[in-house]
Amino acid sequence: MAALDDAIGALGGRIVRRARIGGGQWATVERIDLADGRALAAKRGRGMALEGWMLQRLAATPLPVPRVHHAGDDLLVMDLIEGEGRLDAAGERHAAELLAALHDLPVEGFGLERDTVIGSLVQPNPKTENWIDFFRDQRLLYMARQARLPREVMSRIDRLAGRLDRYIARDVRPSLLHGDLWAGNLLARGGRVVAAIDPAIYQGDAEIELAFGTLFGPFDRAFFERYQELRPIREGFFEHRRDLYNLYPLLVHVRLFGGGYLGTLVATLDRLRG
């Protein structure tokens, strides 16, 4: 409570109302209303300083994110931004424009200058020149080992990891990624994206972001039609790489939430003949 009072005091505000509005296994979120009419979100949990850093990194890009006011070890205070539900077709097109602009930003190498997190899990980001090497070692195999898979499923992933060049080109260019874009992390209002939240940033193949957006929503036909107009998607994405890249978030979900996602993971491996 003292940390929150100090953060609000530094903003020159006074709290008049507090209400819990969200959270999960590793964080809680409160709405903070100030006497001057401002509304803030106070998020408590581990790794809040890192989340604040990721949001500030994205704040310098075309992707809208909440403004960060305080980022401590266990407290993040930012502007409260409210959405109106899932993206409609206009919102999907706007999301495509924002992500195409984000993915077009010039960056060097894969990974990042520091490790990040996805959910509560560490996301290793050693700078790597080749995307196949990075995806194989720091995403696919790393998270498969974290997920404590049955031996036969782990063997299938090991075999798939040895033939990634069948699916992924050697000349993939790096893009800055939000890293955890699903329906719950894109806030929309009036057919526009007003904010992306809960980032898990790193530099990787833009297609892994597009794939993740189809696993739990919100990307559908309107999104991909507009994105293709701005950044053509390589042949083979919808046939193969969408499934390949979605192995990573599925492994994250197996690790975080248990074997309920294992069947979907195995079905995805079946489609890849992995």
What is the token pair recorded at 218?
């919100």
Residue 198: Cβ within 10 Å count: 21
Alpha-carbon separation of residue 205 from 122, 130, 232, 266, 267 (angstroms): 19, 10, 13, 23, 23
Asked if residues 63 and 99 have their Cβ atoms less than 8 Å apart, the reply is yes
Query: What would the 3-class secondary structure string for 132-184 be?
Result: HHHHHHHHHHHHHHHCCCCHHHHHHHHHHHCCHHHCCCCCCCCEEECCCCCHH
Whether 171 is catalytic is no
Distance CA 68, CA 77 (A): 6
Q: Which of 88, 104, 180, 270 is catalytic?
A: 180
By annotation, the residues acting in catalysis are 180
